Protein backbone atom coordinates (compact mmCIF):
# COMPACT_ATOMS: atom_id res chain seq x y z
CA UNK A 1 0.00 0.00 0.00
CA UNK A 2 1.33 3.44 -0.92
CA UNK A 3 1.70 6.14 1.72
CA UNK A 4 -1.12 8.08 0.06
CA UNK A 5 -3.44 5.05 0.11
CA UNK A 6 -2.56 4.53 3.76
CA UNK A 7 -3.21 8.19 4.49
CA UNK A 8 -6.67 8.45 2.94
CA UNK A 9 -7.85 5.10 4.31
CA UNK A 10 -6.68 5.53 7.92
CA UNK A 11 -8.07 7.50 10.80
CA UNK A 12 -5.87 9.74 12.94
CA UNK A 13 -5.02 7.10 15.55
CA UNK A 14 -4.19 4.63 12.81
CA UNK A 15 -1.74 7.06 11.22
CA UNK A 16 -0.14 7.81 14.59
CA UNK A 17 0.33 4.07 15.16
CA UNK A 18 2.15 3.83 11.82
CA UNK A 19 4.42 6.70 12.86
CA UNK A 20 5.21 5.05 16.19
CA UNK A 21 6.09 1.78 14.43
CA UNK A 22 8.41 3.59 12.07
CA UNK A 23 6.38 2.50 9.04
CA UNK A 24 5.93 6.11 7.96
CA UNK A 25 7.36 9.40 9.16
CA UNK A 26 5.50 12.50 10.26
CA UNK A 27 7.17 14.41 7.41
CA UNK A 28 5.89 11.88 4.87
CA UNK A 29 2.36 12.25 6.22
CA UNK A 30 2.58 16.03 6.04
CA UNK A 31 3.76 15.88 2.42
CA UNK A 32 0.87 13.59 1.49
CA UNK A 33 -1.57 15.88 3.31
CA UNK A 34 -0.23 18.86 1.37
CA UNK A 35 -0.70 16.93 -1.87
CA UNK A 36 -4.28 16.07 -0.92
CA UNK A 37 -5.10 19.67 0.00
CA UNK A 38 -3.60 21.03 -3.22
CA UNK A 39 -5.50 18.41 -5.24
CA UNK A 40 -8.93 18.64 -3.59
CA UNK A 41 -9.22 22.07 -2.04
CA UNK A 42 -9.68 23.98 -5.35
CA UNK A 43 -12.92 22.02 -5.77
CA UNK A 44 -14.19 22.58 -2.22
CA UNK A 45 -12.68 25.82 -0.85
CA UNK A 46 -12.35 24.33 2.63
CA UNK A 47 -8.80 25.49 3.44
CA UNK A 48 -8.35 29.26 3.27
CA UNK A 49 -4.91 29.73 4.84
CA UNK A 50 -1.87 27.46 4.45
CA UNK A 51 1.18 27.10 6.69
CA UNK A 52 3.03 24.27 4.98
CA UNK A 53 6.56 25.28 5.98
CA UNK A 54 5.50 25.50 9.62
CA UNK A 55 3.98 21.99 9.37
CA UNK A 56 7.13 20.60 7.76
CA UNK A 57 9.30 22.05 10.49
CA UNK A 58 7.04 20.65 13.20
CA UNK A 59 7.00 17.24 11.51
CA UNK A 60 10.79 17.12 11.34
CA UNK A 61 10.99 17.30 15.13
CA UNK A 62 7.86 15.26 15.88
CA UNK A 63 7.84 12.97 18.90
CA UNK A 64 6.20 9.58 18.74
CA UNK A 65 5.11 8.88 22.33
CA UNK A 66 1.93 10.96 22.04
CA UNK A 67 -1.59 9.96 20.92
CA UNK A 68 -1.64 11.76 17.55
CA UNK A 69 2.05 11.53 16.70
CA UNK A 70 2.70 13.22 13.36
CA UNK A 71 -0.97 13.48 12.36
CA UNK A 72 -1.80 16.28 9.87
CA UNK A 73 -4.48 18.61 11.18
CA UNK A 74 -6.35 21.80 10.31
CA UNK A 75 -7.43 24.64 12.58
CA UNK A 76 -10.80 26.34 12.23
CA UNK A 77 -10.39 30.04 11.48
CA UNK A 78 -12.56 31.25 14.37
CA UNK A 79 -11.41 32.79 17.68
CA UNK A 80 -8.94 30.07 18.74
CA UNK A 81 -5.37 31.38 18.71
CA UNK A 82 -2.25 29.41 17.77
CA UNK A 83 0.81 31.65 17.74
CA UNK A 84 1.82 32.69 14.24
CA UNK A 85 -1.48 31.67 12.60
CA UNK A 86 -4.04 34.17 11.27
CA UNK A 87 -7.40 34.53 13.01
CA UNK A 88 -9.73 36.22 10.52
CA UNK A 89 -13.03 34.86 11.92
CA UNK A 90 -14.19 34.84 8.29
CA UNK A 91 -14.26 38.65 8.40
CA UNK A 92 -12.42 41.33 6.43
CA UNK A 93 -12.10 43.32 9.66
CA UNK A 94 -9.69 40.70 11.07
CA UNK A 95 -8.04 39.81 7.75
CA UNK A 96 -4.55 40.95 8.78
CA UNK A 97 -4.62 39.80 12.40
CA UNK A 98 -2.12 37.12 13.44
CA UNK A 99 -2.08 35.44 16.86
CA UNK A 100 0.86 36.46 19.02
CA UNK A 101 0.31 33.74 21.63
CA UNK A 102 -1.44 30.38 21.95
CA UNK A 103 -4.49 29.33 23.90
CA UNK A 104 -4.01 26.45 26.31
CA UNK A 105 -6.23 24.40 23.99
CA UNK A 106 -3.80 24.99 21.10
CA UNK A 107 -0.90 23.97 23.33
CA UNK A 108 -2.70 20.73 24.18
CA UNK A 109 -3.35 20.04 20.49
CA UNK A 110 0.35 20.49 19.79
CA UNK A 111 1.39 18.38 22.78
CA UNK A 112 -0.84 15.56 21.49
CA UNK A 113 1.23 15.47 18.30
CA UNK A 114 -1.16 17.16 15.90
CA UNK A 115 0.49 19.14 13.09
CA UNK A 116 -1.59 22.03 11.67
CA UNK A 117 -1.15 22.77 7.98
CA UNK A 118 -3.51 25.76 7.85
CA UNK A 119 -6.93 27.16 8.67
CA UNK A 120 -10.39 26.14 7.48
CA UNK A 121 -13.19 28.31 6.17
CA UNK A 122 -15.95 29.55 8.47
CA UNK A 123 -18.89 31.94 8.11
CA UNK A 124 -18.20 35.42 9.44
CA UNK A 125 -18.00 35.22 13.25
CA UNK A 126 -19.45 31.70 13.09
CA UNK A 127 -22.89 33.26 12.74
CA UNK A 128 -24.36 30.93 10.10
CA UNK A 129 -25.08 27.22 9.72
CA UNK A 130 -23.61 27.48 6.21
CA UNK A 131 -19.99 28.36 5.45
CA UNK A 132 -20.31 31.08 2.82
CA UNK A 133 -18.34 34.13 4.02
CA UNK A 134 -17.97 37.12 1.75
CA UNK A 135 -14.24 37.17 2.55
CA UNK A 136 -13.37 33.71 1.23
CA UNK A 137 -16.45 32.44 -0.61
CA UNK A 138 -18.53 29.31 -0.11
CA UNK A 139 -17.23 25.91 0.95
CA UNK A 140 -18.76 23.08 -1.07
CA UNK A 141 -19.97 19.81 0.36
CA UNK A 142 -17.84 16.88 -0.93
CA UNK A 143 -20.85 14.55 -0.94
CA UNK A 144 -23.01 16.84 -3.09
CA UNK A 145 -21.29 20.11 -4.10
CA UNK A 146 -24.58 21.91 -4.64
CA UNK A 147 -25.60 21.66 -0.96
CA UNK A 148 -24.16 23.48 2.04
CA UNK A 149 -21.23 22.04 3.98
CA UNK A 150 -22.71 23.31 7.24
CA UNK A 151 -21.50 25.90 9.67
CA UNK A 152 -19.78 27.20 11.38
CA UNK A 153 -17.23 24.36 11.14
CA UNK A 154 -18.08 23.73 7.49
CA UNK A 155 -14.53 24.08 6.22
CA UNK A 156 -13.29 21.54 8.75
CA UNK A 157 -16.17 19.21 7.88
CA UNK A 158 -15.48 19.29 4.15
CA UNK A 159 -11.74 18.84 4.71
CA UNK A 160 -12.17 15.74 6.89
CA UNK A 161 -14.90 14.17 4.76
CA UNK A 162 -12.81 14.56 1.59
CA UNK A 163 -9.74 13.05 3.33
CA UNK A 164 -7.57 16.16 3.18
CA UNK A 165 -6.92 15.48 6.86
CA UNK A 166 -8.23 12.73 9.17
CA UNK A 167 -9.30 15.12 11.93
CA UNK A 168 -9.80 18.88 12.30
CA UNK A 169 -10.51 21.55 14.88
CA UNK A 170 -14.16 22.57 15.34
CA UNK A 171 -16.30 24.62 17.70
CA UNK A 172 -19.99 24.74 18.56
CA UNK A 173 -22.14 27.64 19.76
CA UNK A 174 -25.50 26.44 18.47
CA UNK A 175 -24.77 23.27 16.53
CA UNK A 176 -21.58 24.22 14.71
CA UNK A 177 -19.87 20.87 15.29
CA UNK A 178 -22.95 18.69 14.98
CA UNK A 179 -24.47 20.25 11.84
CA UNK A 180 -21.30 19.95 9.70
CA UNK A 181 -20.90 16.41 11.05
CA UNK A 182 -24.43 15.60 9.91
CA UNK A 183 -24.00 17.21 6.50
CA UNK A 184 -20.56 15.70 5.82
CA UNK A 185 -21.11 12.20 7.19
CA UNK A 186 -18.78 12.59 10.19
CA UNK A 187 -18.59 12.12 13.95
CA UNK A 188 -19.13 15.40 15.78
CA UNK A 189 -19.18 15.64 19.57
CA UNK A 190 -20.12 18.84 21.39
CA UNK A 191 -18.64 18.39 24.86
CA UNK A 192 -20.19 19.66 28.08
CA UNK A 193 -19.84 23.25 29.21
CA UNK A 194 -16.70 23.42 31.31
CA UNK A 195 -15.05 20.35 29.81
CA UNK A 196 -12.41 22.35 27.88
CA UNK A 197 -10.72 25.60 28.89
CA UNK A 198 -10.45 28.81 26.85
CA UNK A 199 -7.54 30.06 28.95
CA UNK A 200 -5.35 31.77 29.59
CA UNK A 201 -6.52 34.91 27.80
CA UNK A 202 -10.22 34.12 27.29
CA UNK A 203 -12.45 33.28 30.23
CA UNK A 204 -15.56 32.04 28.40
CA UNK A 205 -17.55 32.58 25.21
CA UNK A 206 -21.26 33.49 25.32
CA UNK A 207 -21.75 32.42 28.93
CA UNK A 208 -20.44 28.93 28.33
CA UNK A 209 -22.60 28.33 25.27
CA UNK A 210 -19.60 27.92 22.97
CA UNK A 211 -17.40 24.83 23.25
CA UNK A 212 -14.53 23.36 21.24
CA UNK A 213 -13.64 19.89 20.04
CA UNK A 214 -13.14 18.31 16.61
CA UNK A 215 -14.63 16.63 13.56
CA UNK A 216 -13.43 13.13 12.74
CA UNK A 217 -14.40 10.01 10.84
CA UNK A 218 -14.26 7.58 13.76
CA UNK A 219 -15.51 7.50 17.33
CA UNK A 220 -12.12 6.47 18.64
CA UNK A 221 -10.45 9.56 17.15
CA UNK A 222 -13.01 11.79 18.83
CA UNK A 223 -12.61 9.99 22.16
CA UNK A 224 -8.81 10.21 22.05
CA UNK A 225 -8.94 13.87 21.07
CA UNK A 226 -11.20 14.65 24.03
CA UNK A 227 -8.76 12.82 26.30
CA UNK A 228 -5.94 14.97 24.91
CA UNK A 229 -7.53 18.40 25.27
CA UNK A 230 -10.02 18.13 28.16
CA UNK A 231 -9.53 19.86 31.48
CA UNK A 232 -10.09 23.22 33.13
CA UNK A 233 -7.59 25.87 34.18
CA UNK A 234 -7.61 27.64 37.58
CA UNK A 235 -10.23 30.37 37.57
CA UNK A 236 -12.43 28.93 34.83
CA UNK A 237 -16.07 29.84 35.63
CA UNK A 238 -17.36 26.47 34.41
CA UNK A 239 -15.18 23.51 35.31
CA UNK A 240 -15.88 19.78 35.29
CA UNK A 241 -13.68 17.14 36.92
CA UNK A 242 -11.85 14.84 34.54
CA UNK A 243 -13.26 11.29 34.32
CA UNK A 244 -11.73 8.46 36.32
CA UNK A 245 -10.65 6.66 33.15
CA UNK A 246 -9.81 7.81 29.60
CA UNK A 247 -12.71 8.18 27.20
CA UNK A 248 -10.89 6.04 24.64
CA UNK A 249 -10.82 3.11 27.07
CA UNK A 250 -14.62 3.00 27.09
CA UNK A 251 -14.60 1.64 23.55
CA UNK A 252 -12.92 -1.58 24.66
CA UNK A 253 -15.48 -2.42 27.35
CA UNK A 254 -16.85 -5.91 26.74
CA UNK A 255 -20.00 -5.14 28.75
CA UNK A 256 -20.88 -1.45 28.25
CA UNK A 257 -23.54 -0.05 30.57
CA UNK A 258 -27.20 -0.52 29.69
CA UNK A 259 -28.80 2.84 29.05
CA UNK A 260 -32.31 4.20 29.31
CA UNK A 261 -32.79 6.07 26.04
CA UNK A 262 -35.57 8.39 24.98
CA UNK A 263 -36.34 9.39 21.41
CA UNK A 264 -38.58 11.90 19.70
CA UNK A 265 -40.48 11.70 16.43
CA UNK A 266 -41.67 15.32 16.54
CA UNK A 267 -40.24 18.81 16.27
CA UNK A 268 -40.24 21.06 19.38
CA UNK A 269 -43.73 22.40 18.55
CA UNK A 270 -45.18 18.90 18.17
CA UNK A 271 -45.16 18.67 14.36
CA UNK A 272 -44.08 15.27 12.98
CA UNK A 273 -40.53 14.91 11.71
CA UNK A 274 -39.91 14.77 7.98
CA UNK A 275 -39.58 11.41 6.26
CA UNK A 276 -35.78 11.19 6.20
CA UNK A 277 -35.47 12.41 9.78
CA UNK A 278 -37.99 9.78 10.92
CA UNK A 279 -36.06 7.09 9.08
CA UNK A 280 -32.79 8.20 10.62
CA UNK A 281 -34.21 8.19 14.15
CA UNK A 282 -35.96 4.85 13.56
CA UNK A 283 -32.68 3.24 12.45
CA UNK A 284 -30.95 4.52 15.58
CA UNK A 285 -33.77 3.32 17.82
CA UNK A 286 -33.74 -0.14 16.25
CA UNK A 287 -29.99 -0.43 16.67
CA UNK A 288 -30.08 0.70 20.30
CA UNK A 289 -32.82 -1.81 21.10
CA UNK A 290 -30.81 -4.58 19.44
CA UNK A 291 -27.85 -3.63 21.62
CA UNK A 292 -29.97 -4.25 24.71
CA UNK A 293 -30.73 -0.68 25.75
CA UNK A 294 -34.16 0.35 27.01
CA UNK A 295 -35.64 2.73 24.43
CA UNK A 296 -38.83 4.75 24.94
CA UNK A 297 -40.57 7.41 22.86
CA UNK A 298 -41.00 10.71 24.68
CA UNK A 299 -42.73 14.03 24.15
CA UNK A 300 -39.83 16.42 23.89
CA UNK A 301 -41.28 19.90 23.49
CA UNK A 302 -40.05 23.38 24.33
CA UNK A 303 -40.61 27.01 23.37
CA UNK A 304 -37.95 27.24 20.70
CA UNK A 305 -39.15 30.61 19.37
CA UNK A 306 -38.77 32.17 22.81
CA UNK A 307 -35.25 30.75 23.08
CA UNK A 308 -34.32 32.19 19.66
CA UNK A 309 -35.55 35.69 20.54
CA UNK A 310 -33.40 35.65 23.64
CA UNK A 311 -30.47 34.19 21.76
CA UNK A 312 -30.54 36.89 19.06
CA UNK A 313 -30.31 39.66 21.67
CA UNK A 314 -27.69 37.95 23.81
CA UNK A 315 -25.55 37.15 20.78
CA UNK A 316 -25.89 40.73 19.54
CA UNK A 317 -24.70 42.13 22.85
CA UNK A 318 -21.71 39.79 22.92
CA UNK A 319 -20.92 40.54 19.27
CA UNK A 320 -20.89 44.29 19.86
CA UNK A 321 -18.66 43.82 22.89
CA UNK A 322 -16.27 41.58 20.95
CA UNK A 323 -15.84 44.03 18.09
CA UNK A 324 -15.44 46.99 20.43
CA UNK A 325 -12.80 45.17 22.48
CA UNK A 326 -10.99 44.10 19.29
CA UNK A 327 -10.40 47.68 18.16
CA UNK A 328 -7.17 47.90 20.18
CA UNK A 329 -5.56 44.90 18.46
CA UNK A 330 -6.83 45.80 14.97
CA UNK A 331 -5.91 49.45 15.39
CA UNK A 332 -9.28 50.96 14.54
CA UNK A 333 -12.99 50.57 15.17
CA UNK A 334 -15.10 48.35 12.95
CA UNK A 335 -17.14 50.00 10.18
CA UNK A 336 -20.11 48.83 8.15
CA UNK A 337 -17.84 48.15 5.16
CA UNK A 338 -15.68 45.77 7.22
CA UNK A 339 -18.40 43.20 7.88
CA UNK A 340 -21.38 41.48 6.33
CA UNK A 341 -24.91 42.80 6.70
CA UNK A 342 -26.06 40.40 9.41
CA UNK A 343 -22.92 41.04 11.46
CA UNK A 344 -23.29 44.82 11.24
CA UNK A 345 -26.92 44.63 12.33
CA UNK A 346 -25.87 42.42 15.25
CA UNK A 347 -23.35 45.03 16.32
CA UNK A 348 -25.92 47.83 16.06
CA UNK A 349 -28.54 45.87 17.98
CA UNK A 350 -26.02 44.95 20.66
CA UNK A 351 -25.00 48.56 21.16
CA UNK A 352 -28.66 49.59 21.52
CA UNK A 353 -29.47 47.15 24.32
CA UNK A 354 -29.39 48.30 27.92
CA UNK A 355 -27.49 46.49 30.65
CA UNK A 356 -30.85 45.82 32.32
CA UNK A 357 -32.25 44.19 29.18
CA UNK A 358 -29.14 42.05 28.78
CA UNK A 359 -29.29 40.93 32.40
CA UNK A 360 -32.96 40.02 32.04
CA UNK A 361 -32.25 38.08 28.83
CA UNK A 362 -29.51 36.04 30.50
CA UNK A 363 -31.77 35.14 33.41
CA UNK A 364 -34.64 34.24 31.04
CA UNK A 365 -32.33 32.03 29.01
CA UNK A 366 -31.17 30.24 32.12
CA UNK A 367 -34.79 29.62 33.07
CA UNK A 368 -35.36 28.18 29.61
CA UNK A 369 -32.33 25.92 30.06
CA UNK A 370 -33.56 24.72 33.45
CA UNK A 371 -36.99 23.85 32.07
CA UNK A 372 -35.43 22.15 29.05
CA UNK A 373 -33.00 20.01 30.96
CA UNK A 374 -35.64 18.66 33.34
CA UNK A 375 -37.02 16.65 30.41
CA UNK A 376 -33.79 14.62 30.48
CA UNK A 377 -34.11 13.44 34.05
CA UNK A 378 -35.79 10.19 33.09
CA UNK A 379 -33.17 9.25 30.48
CA UNK A 380 -29.44 8.68 30.16
CA UNK A 381 -29.56 9.64 26.47
CA UNK A 382 -32.12 11.25 24.17
CA UNK A 383 -32.17 10.65 20.39
CA UNK A 384 -33.29 13.25 17.85
CA UNK A 385 -32.32 14.41 14.39
CA UNK A 386 -29.48 16.91 14.13
CA UNK A 387 -31.30 18.98 11.50
CA UNK A 388 -35.04 19.24 11.14
CA UNK A 389 -34.79 19.81 7.36
CA UNK A 390 -33.00 18.26 4.42
CA UNK A 391 -29.72 19.93 3.38
CA UNK A 392 -30.12 23.40 1.91
CA UNK A 393 -28.69 24.54 -1.43
CA UNK A 394 -25.73 26.88 -1.22
CA UNK A 395 -26.89 30.49 -1.01
CA UNK A 396 -29.80 29.75 1.32
CA UNK A 397 -28.06 31.33 4.31
CA UNK A 398 -25.86 34.05 2.89
CA UNK A 399 -25.25 36.80 5.43
CA UNK A 400 -26.15 39.49 2.90
CA UNK A 401 -29.79 38.75 3.73
CA UNK A 402 -31.73 41.13 5.94
CA UNK A 403 -31.41 39.99 9.59
CA UNK A 404 -35.08 39.02 10.00
CA UNK A 405 -35.05 36.73 6.96
CA UNK A 406 -31.65 35.34 7.89
CA UNK A 407 -32.61 34.52 11.46
CA UNK A 408 -35.88 32.94 10.31
CA UNK A 409 -33.99 30.63 7.98
CA UNK A 410 -31.24 29.95 10.50
CA UNK A 411 -33.68 29.04 13.25
CA UNK A 412 -34.93 26.12 11.18
CA UNK A 413 -31.49 24.52 11.49
CA UNK A 414 -31.09 25.05 15.24
CA UNK A 415 -34.21 23.40 16.63
CA UNK A 416 -32.50 20.29 17.99
CA UNK A 417 -28.98 21.59 18.52
CA UNK A 418 -29.05 25.09 20.03
CA UNK A 419 -30.98 24.27 23.25
CA UNK A 420 -28.15 21.96 24.28
CA UNK A 421 -25.69 24.85 24.10
CA UNK A 422 -27.88 26.71 26.57
CA UNK A 423 -28.07 23.78 28.99
CA UNK A 424 -24.39 22.88 28.59
CA UNK A 425 -25.17 19.23 27.87
CA UNK A 426 -22.95 17.06 25.67
CA UNK A 427 -24.35 15.85 22.35
CA UNK A 428 -22.94 13.89 19.43
CA UNK A 429 -23.90 13.61 15.77
CA UNK A 430 -23.36 10.20 14.20
CA UNK A 431 -23.62 9.49 10.43
CA UNK A 432 -26.22 6.74 10.69
CA UNK A 433 -28.39 7.51 7.66
CA UNK A 434 -28.26 8.59 4.03
CA UNK A 435 -30.92 9.71 1.58
CA UNK A 436 -31.46 7.64 -1.56
CA UNK A 437 -29.27 10.05 -3.51
CA UNK A 438 -26.46 9.76 -0.97
CA UNK A 439 -26.80 12.86 1.19
CA UNK A 440 -25.68 12.17 4.78
CA UNK A 441 -28.23 12.55 7.58
CA UNK A 442 -26.86 12.67 11.10
CA UNK A 443 -28.60 11.51 14.25
CA UNK A 444 -28.07 13.40 17.51
CA UNK A 445 -27.58 11.71 20.87
CA UNK A 446 -27.65 14.00 23.92
CA UNK A 447 -26.76 13.12 27.51
CA UNK A 448 -26.75 14.70 30.95
CA UNK A 449 -24.15 17.40 31.55
CA UNK A 450 -20.74 15.91 32.23
CA UNK A 451 -21.64 12.50 30.81
CA UNK A 452 -19.67 12.38 27.56
CA UNK A 453 -18.81 8.83 28.63
CA UNK A 454 -22.36 7.61 27.93
CA UNK A 455 -22.28 9.14 24.46
CA UNK A 456 -18.85 7.79 23.54
CA UNK A 457 -19.69 4.31 24.79
CA UNK A 458 -22.97 4.23 22.87
CA UNK A 459 -21.40 5.76 19.75
CA UNK A 460 -18.73 3.07 19.76
CA UNK A 461 -21.39 0.37 19.88
CA UNK A 462 -23.38 1.95 17.04
CA UNK A 463 -20.24 2.29 14.92
CA UNK A 464 -19.92 -1.49 15.08
CA UNK A 465 -23.50 -2.34 14.14
CA UNK A 466 -24.15 0.53 11.70
CA UNK A 467 -20.68 1.09 10.22
CA UNK A 468 -20.15 4.17 8.11
CA UNK A 469 -16.40 3.99 7.50
CA UNK A 470 -16.63 2.69 3.94
CA UNK A 471 -19.01 5.40 2.70
CA UNK A 472 -17.19 7.87 0.51
CA UNK A 473 -18.24 11.28 -0.89
CA UNK A 474 -18.11 12.30 -4.53
CA UNK A 475 -15.04 14.49 -4.08
CA UNK A 476 -12.30 12.66 -2.21
CA UNK A 477 -8.52 12.69 -2.04
CA UNK A 478 -6.63 9.75 -3.46
Instruction: Catalogue the active-site residues.
Output: 76, 152, 176
Quick one: CA dihedral 431, 114, 451, 366, positive or negative?
negative
Edge-first strand listing for the sheet containing 187-190: 47-50, 115-120, 72-76, 167-172, 211-216, 187-190, 427-434, 440-447, 381-385, 260-263, 294-297
127-164 as b/e, with b when 16 or more CB fall inside 10 Å?
bbbbbbbbbbebbbbbbbbebbbbbbbbbbbbbbbbbb
Q: Cα(258)–Cα(239) distance, rounded to whole angstroms?
A: 27
3-class secondary-structure state, position 433: strand
Cβ atoms of 8 and 163 within 8 Å: the answer is yes
Cβ atoms of 368 and 303 within 8 Å: the answer is yes
- Helix/strand/coil (H/E/C) assignment for every residue in 155-168: HHHHHHHCCCCCEE
For residue 387, with 0-12 CB atoms within 10 Å meaning exposed, 13-18 middle and 19 or more buried, which class applies? buried
Amino acid sequence: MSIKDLYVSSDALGLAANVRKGEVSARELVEVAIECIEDINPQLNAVISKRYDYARALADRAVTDVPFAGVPFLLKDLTLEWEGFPVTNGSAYFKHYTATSSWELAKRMKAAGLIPLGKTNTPEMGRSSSTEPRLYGATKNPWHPEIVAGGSSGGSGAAVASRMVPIADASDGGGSIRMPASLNGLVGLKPSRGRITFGPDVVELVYGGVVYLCLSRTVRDTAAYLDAVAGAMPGDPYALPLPERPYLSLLSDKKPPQLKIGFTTTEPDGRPLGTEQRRAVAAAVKACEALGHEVLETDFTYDFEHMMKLSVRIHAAKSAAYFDSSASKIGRKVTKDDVENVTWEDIQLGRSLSAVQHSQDIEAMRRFARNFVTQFHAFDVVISPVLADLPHPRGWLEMSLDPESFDHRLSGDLKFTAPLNQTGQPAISLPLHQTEDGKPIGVQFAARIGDEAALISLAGQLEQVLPWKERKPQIIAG
